[in-house]
Amino acid sequence: MLDILAISGSLRAASTNSALIAALAQNAPPGCRITVYDGLGRLPIFNPDDEGERTPAEASALIDAVSGADGVIISCPEYAHGVPGGLKNGLDWLVSRDAAVGKPAMLVHASPRSLFARAALAEIMRTMSFALYDEVPLEIALLGKKAPEVEKILAEPANRVAMRNALSAFAGFIRQC
């Protein structure tokens, strides 16, 4: 069984990225278990002085969750052509240790825009030595949609197949890593 950690880069209650992450967890193919990480909003602002013995409990929980996962999936919005601070802050807590090194990771997209953030996030994650899988990008356009429509789109058979296919492809990549 592959354990995959899924992270939304949005803290919004009605986040489309979080909805995509939740739908992926519901559509996990056999042999994959997806756990949703929801602690980004509780993490203290990263400070290198607070590493080692002083690492805050919330940061340790994230580090342990990433370390224990076979792979990581991230769905993230774009803010002012960049990666939202909350997600970048979470990633910063993972830099000076082994958690991300060689860890298979996949980006999925809830917006057809966000091209700057996608590129920036990929660059950040490669720099952190994540093993980034980017051969079959999953994009389901949920930008600007309200919750009932988001739910409807994510329940469409073609989108469920697309989610399963993306997850199966990522699982294959994880097994090769």
Ligand X SMILES: Cc1cc2nc3c(=O)[nH]c(=O)nc-3n(C[C@H](O)[C@H](O)[C@H](O)COP(=O)(O)O)c2cc1C
* Spatial separation of the C-alpha atoms in residues 125 and 66, rounded to whole Å: 13
| CB closer to ligand X, 79 vs 97 | 79
The reply on whether position 120 binds ligand X by CB under 6 A is no
Contacts of 85 (CB under 8 A, 6+ apart): 79
Q: Which stretch binds ligand X (CB under 6 A): 49-57, 96-104, 110-118, 156-164?
A: 110-118
Q: Which stretch binds ligand X (CB under 6 A): 14-22, 60-68, 131-139, 154-162?
A: 14-22
| CB closer to ligand X, 24 vs 63 | 24
Strands 2-8 and 104-109: unpaired
The CA-atom distances, in angstroms, between 88 and each of 38, 133, 140, 170 are: 14, 19, 23, 23
| Total residue length of the chain | 177
| CB closer to ligand X, 71 vs 77 | 77
Out of 33, 42, 113, 126, the residue judged to bind ligand X by CB under 6 A: 113
